[in-house]
């Protein structure tokens, strides 16, 4: 197991891969610069994000910074290959506003994992990655992920080609099975341990504690539901519309936060850092202002009495 020192706040670079809407190169650069200006020194990307666009833009930006001053992770499991049938269309089926002339090809073999890393290094222009995550193994084959992809990643770590390896997923069964292989250093928990809901607390977080696996907590706003002080009926939740019962609970949480003079986004960002297994919070952002706001939320003082009040009202676990 490798202990990697991650800062409290990282930037998830899906947005600079044109998630939901197209950004110019200059707009993407301004977002990354805002993150850097706020002291963010951990950046996470993936081939999946904009069919390589996120990796290319992030790499171009980081090329202007000293390599020893930041940490970067990417994902493996999906190779990018030419897709002539997609010419003239956009990758909107995956929520990215980029040309669909490239397609994703699942490959969990040892050769495919190594090739994925090599190709990501070319796209980013980096000499190495600090961490690598197997991306969404349950969407292809969880068994093959645990039996082939993760041992391949462990081999890359043993060779000294990467410091830490892990799995990133929104599925608690996949997250738990991955931890139980005993191969992981990190686990990227996406949307399953948030102020709105905590299904990862049942088994995933205890398993991480037992195995010494650090949690990289992502999607702590549940795709937007917790990102504003007054969530509306159309608030986005896990890339869709929030269920009525979830929206109502979040509105009750927001009301308690207001009673304590705390913004809902600040509470959402800081809530899971109270768990020792959580090493860092990774959040996205499609405008520089969002990066500045999130950094401010991470600095906001939050009284312990707020968490006690939420627990007393059974809005979070005691």
**Residues 200-223 pLDDT 10s:** 999 999 999 999 999 999 999 998
3-state secondary structure at position 73:
strand
Catalytic residue among 42, 49, 237, 271: 49
Q: Classify residue 104 by burial, with Cβ atoms within 10 Å: 0-12, 13-18, 19+.
A: middle
pLDDT class of 3 with cuts at 50, 70, 90 = confident
Q: What is the DSSP letter of 276?
A: T
Range of the domain at 123: 9-312
User: How confident is the prediction for the chain on average, in pLDDT?
Assistant: 96
Rounded average pLDDT over 75-86: 97
**Could you read off the pLDDT of 167-208 as tens digits, one per residue?**
999 999 999 999 999 999 999 999 999 999 999 999 999 999
Is 169 contained in some domain? yes
Is 44 contained in some domain? yes
Is 2 contained in some domain? no
- The pLDDT value recorded for residue 243 is 87
**What's the whole-model pTM score?**
0.96
Number of domains in the chain: 1
Please enumerate in sequence order all residues whose Cβ is within 8 A of that of 283, keeping only pairs 6 or more positions apart, or say none: 9, 10, 11, 12, 218, 220, 221, 269, 294
pLDDT class of 242 with cuts at 50, 70, 90 = confident
Is 110 contained in some domain? yes
Report whether 203 contacts 173 (CB < 8 A). no
3-state secondary structure at position 256:
helix
Is 69 contained in some domain? yes
Is 238 contained in some domain? yes
Rounded average pLDDT over 102-129: 98
pLDDT surpasses 80 at 249: yes
CATH of the domain at 123: 3.20.20.100
- The pLDDT value recorded for residue 235 is 81
Catalytic residue list contains 20: no
Is 1 contained in some domain? no
3-state secondary structure at position 118:
helix
pLDDT class of 1 with cuts at 50, 70, 90 = low
Is 306 contained in some domain? yes
Report whether 208 contacts 187 (CB < 8 A). yes
């Amino acid at each position: 197991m490798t202990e990697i020192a991650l800062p409290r706040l990282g930037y998830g670079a899906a947005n600079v891969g044109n998630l939901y809407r197209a950004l110019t190169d200059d707009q993407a650069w301004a977002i990354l610069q805002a993150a850097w200006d706020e002291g963010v020194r951990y950046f996470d990307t993936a081939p999946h994000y904009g069919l390589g666009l996120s990796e290319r833009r992030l790499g171009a930006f980081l090329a202007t910074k000293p390599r020893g001053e930041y940490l970067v992770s990417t994902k493996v499991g999906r190779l990018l290959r030419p897709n002539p049938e997609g010419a003239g269309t956009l990758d909107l089926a995956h929520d990215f506003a980029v040309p669909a002339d490239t397609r994703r090809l699942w490959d969990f073999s040892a050769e495919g994992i190594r090739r994925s890393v090599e190709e990501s290094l070319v796209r980013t222009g980096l000499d190495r990655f600090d961490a690598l995550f197997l991306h969404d193994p349950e969407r292809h084959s969880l068994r093959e992920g645990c039996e082939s992809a993760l041992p391949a990643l462990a081999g890359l770590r043993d060779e000294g080609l990467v410091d830490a390896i892990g799995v990133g997923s929104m599925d608690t069964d996949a997250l738990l099975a991955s931890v139980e292989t005993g191969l992981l250093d990190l686990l990227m928990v996406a949307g399953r341990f948030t102020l709105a809901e905590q299904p990862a607390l049942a088994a995933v977080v205890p398993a991480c504690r037992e195995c010494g696996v650090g949690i990289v907590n992502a999607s702590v706003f549940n795709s937007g539901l917790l990102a504003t002080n007054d969530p509306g009926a159309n608030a986005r939740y896990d890339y869709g519309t929030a269920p009525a019962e979830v929206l109502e609970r979040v509105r009750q949480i927001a009301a308690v936060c207001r009673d304590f003079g705390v913004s809902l986004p600040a509470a959402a960002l800081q809530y899971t850092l109270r768990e020792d297994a959580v090493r860092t919070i990774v959040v996205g952002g499609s405008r520089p202002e969002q990066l500045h706001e999130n950094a401010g939320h991470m600095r906001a003082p939050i009284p312990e009495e707020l968490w006690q009040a939420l627990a007393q009202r059974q809005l979070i676990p005691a």
